[in-house]
């Protein structure tokens, strides 16, 4: 299982890295390899905990050879404008000039000797669109061409022996960058409703295989936040409100992704689901006690770490009980003392987007230095990559950024890269294969929940008319197609009314005359619906619409349980 290890092995690898760092950089002000040449040491076999091909050993050896500029580049992961690596539009070139003084993504990689690049984009229902300033993903073929070009640029760097990191937010559900041409899973909340970690693992393995086929080796997923508030920015991105059930799901998603050769990222530590505010707009406050956070917010992170997650994303959250007034992204107490010290995480800590308002209280250079000193290893989406790079380099050379901290961060990043090496890239023909669609369909079928109405009589008779809140023509068409395939007649009007509501909808989007109301995002709105039958799919994916059609046609039993509390309604009317 490449990229996934047990806790003892992770600790052993970390100890090996620490020993190598101590040998190569005992003085924080001295670069590895500088100073007098030592006398030749007698050859001894490597310790058993760090064989020659161990990723941590390879990383430390490479770091010892790097110039300052390369060390700094390894801890930066910006976005870029343009849907190709070397040929971009005039507008994209202007964007890249403003971001880093270059025209193309390839030039950005070479100029700043980058460790990775994030592919960005957004959809209409995306709660993270506020910091997605461009889009460079369209379809799998285009993404594969782009990632190939990015890797060709990175192959000219001194770090070329390690895979170049290409990441994206492929959470499935409302935050999904690549939609067309891939196997779409139901949302995390849908997986929580299904409640079967094995189904989640299989589905996320299929999704990870497809990411790898497109040349992506780092997914900023799964969301490990526990949904204890009605957070609109987290919402159906979470696996649910129960810490242990969410933890089981997070572990399954991590194993699925990483057995496919894609690094998983647990986010958003220390727990964005414990605030209803949106860190894309301001700095949310977590006023829960430390004990409550440990019991309610951190179990999914612990489960993901135990499953071998290679990365954790820090969040722009003010945790008053631990480090009041300091965003977690910049908090040594949270990232070093809690995440590493208490939770035992030894992998790569990645900042949330540094172009978000809580991180922009400082300039890009100072913010990058502060984030690295707090314990982050990879700086994501700086608002100006040139200033972030120059700020880190200046701080390194004037001593305000300890060299040992930068070396440690770069070593962790490269260790993760070498953990992902030698997997090969699946063919694009892997996308959408029957096995992948079946895995998504099984998870979606397990998610469908009946919160009002008889479990054994959820099917509707006669012709069906499908309606929805505004702007959901695509979803209505998908359900219509699925109902027709299930043998039902769908008519424009006059049939049994099935009404769909989704992300961002409110009471005004409900219909009093609907026989069935279906929630395709968080199910809270169902508490205000008057329909005799209330269903939840938690997702509007094609797999979810097919699963819903089977329930409406009476061909399948809705076996899901709502993973969040809906006022006045049970988790399900089905028993057993």
- Is 280 one of the catalytic residues? yes
Catalytic residue from among 280, 316, 384, 436: 280
3-state secondary structure 61-119: HHHCCCCHHHHHHHCEECCCCCCCCCCCCHHHHHHHHHHHCCCCHHHHHHHHCCCEEEC
The three-state secondary structure class of 501 is strand
Contacts 24+ apart (CB under 8 A), 29-37: 29/399, 29/403, 30/403, 31/68, 31/403, 32/63, 32/64, 32/407, 33/64, 33/65
DSSP state of 223: B
Report the alpha-carbon distance of residue 24 to residue 64 in Å, rounded. Answer: 7
3-state SS class at 31: coil
Distance of CA 208 to the CA centre of its chain: 12
Helices 90-100, 385-398: axis angle to 10 degrees equals 20
Q: Count CA atoms closer than 13 A to 87's CA, side-chain side.
A: 2
Please identify which of the residues 352, 377, 505, 550 carries the catalytic annotation: 352
Residue 440: CA atoms inside 13 Å, Cβ hemisphere, count?
A: 27
Task: Indicate the burial class of 461 (C-beta count within 10 angstroms; 0-12, 13-18, 19 or more).
Answer: exposed
Catalytic sites, residue numbers: 280, 352
């Amino acid at each position: 299982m490449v990229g996934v290890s047990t806790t003892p092995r992770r600790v052993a690898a970390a100890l090996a890295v620490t020993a190598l760092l101590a040998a190569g950089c005992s003085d924080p002000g001295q670069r590895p390899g500088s100073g007098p040449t030592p006398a030749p040491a007698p050859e001894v076999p490597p310790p058993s905990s760090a064989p020659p091909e161990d990723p941590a050993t390879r990383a430390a050896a490479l770091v010892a050879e790097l110039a300052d500029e390369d060390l700094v580049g390894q801890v930066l992961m910006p976005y870029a404008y343009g849907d190709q690596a070397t040929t971009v539009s005039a507008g994209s070139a202007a964007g890249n000039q403003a971001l880093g003084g270059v025209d193309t993504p390839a030039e950005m990689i070479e100029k700043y000797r980058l460790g990775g690049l994030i592919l960005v984009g957004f959809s209409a229902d995306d709660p993270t669109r506020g910091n997605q300033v461009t889009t460079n993903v369209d379809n799998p073929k285009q993404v594969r061409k782009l990632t190939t070009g990015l890797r060709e640029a990175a192959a000219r760097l001194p770090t070329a022996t390690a895979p170049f990191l290409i990441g994206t937010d492929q959470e499935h559900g409302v935050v999904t960058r690549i939609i067309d041409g891939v196997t779409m899973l139901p949302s995390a909340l849908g997986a929580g409703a299904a409640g079967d970690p094995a189904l989640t693992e299989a589905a996320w393995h299929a999704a990870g295989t497809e990411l790898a086929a497109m040349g992506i080796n780092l997914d900023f997923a799964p969301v490990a936040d526990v949904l204890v508030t009605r957070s609109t920015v987290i919402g159906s991105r979470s696996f649910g409100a129960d810490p242990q059930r969410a933890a089981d799901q997070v572990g399954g998603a991590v194993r699925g992704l990483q057995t496919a050769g894609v690094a998983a990222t647990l986010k958003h530590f220390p727990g964005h689901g414990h605030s209803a505010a949106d860190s894309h707009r301001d700095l949310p406050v977590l006023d829960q006690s430390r004990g409550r956070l440990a019991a309610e917010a951190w179990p999914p992170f612990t489960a993901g770490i135990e499953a071998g997650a290679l990365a954790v994303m820090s969040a722009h959250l003010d945790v008053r009980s631990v480090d009041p007034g300091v965003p977690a992204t910049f908090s040594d107490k949270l990232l070093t003392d809690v995440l590493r010290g208490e939770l035992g995480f030894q992998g790569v800590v990645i900042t949330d987007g540094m172009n978000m308002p809580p991180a922009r209280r400082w300039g890009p250079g100072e913010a990058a230095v502060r984030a690295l000193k707090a314990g982050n290893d990879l700086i994501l989406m700086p608002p100006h990559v040139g200033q972030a790079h120059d700020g880190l380099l200046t701080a390194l050379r004037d001593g305000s950024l300890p060299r040992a901290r930068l070396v440690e961060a770069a070593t962790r990043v490269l260790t993760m890269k070498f953990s992902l090496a030698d997997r090969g890239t699946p063919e694009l023909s892997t996308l959408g294969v029957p096995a992948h669609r079946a895995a998504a369909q099984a998870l979606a079928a397990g998610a469908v929940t009946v919160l009002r109405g008889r479990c054994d009589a959820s099917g509707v008779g006669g012709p069906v008319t499908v309606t929805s809140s505004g702007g959901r023509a695509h979803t209505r068409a998908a359900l219509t197609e699925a109902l027709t395939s299930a043998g039902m007649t769908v008519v424009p009007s006059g049939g049994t009314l099935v009404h769909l509501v989704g992300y961002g909808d409110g009471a005004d989007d409900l219909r009093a005359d609907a026989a069935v109301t279906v929630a395709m995002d968080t199910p809270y709105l169902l508490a205000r619906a008057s329909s005799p039958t209330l269903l939840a799919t938690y997702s509007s994916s094609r797999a979810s619409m097919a699963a819903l059609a089977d329930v409406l046609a009476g061909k399948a039993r809705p076996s899901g349980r709502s993973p969040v509390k809906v006022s006045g309604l049970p988790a399900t009317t089905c028993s057993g």
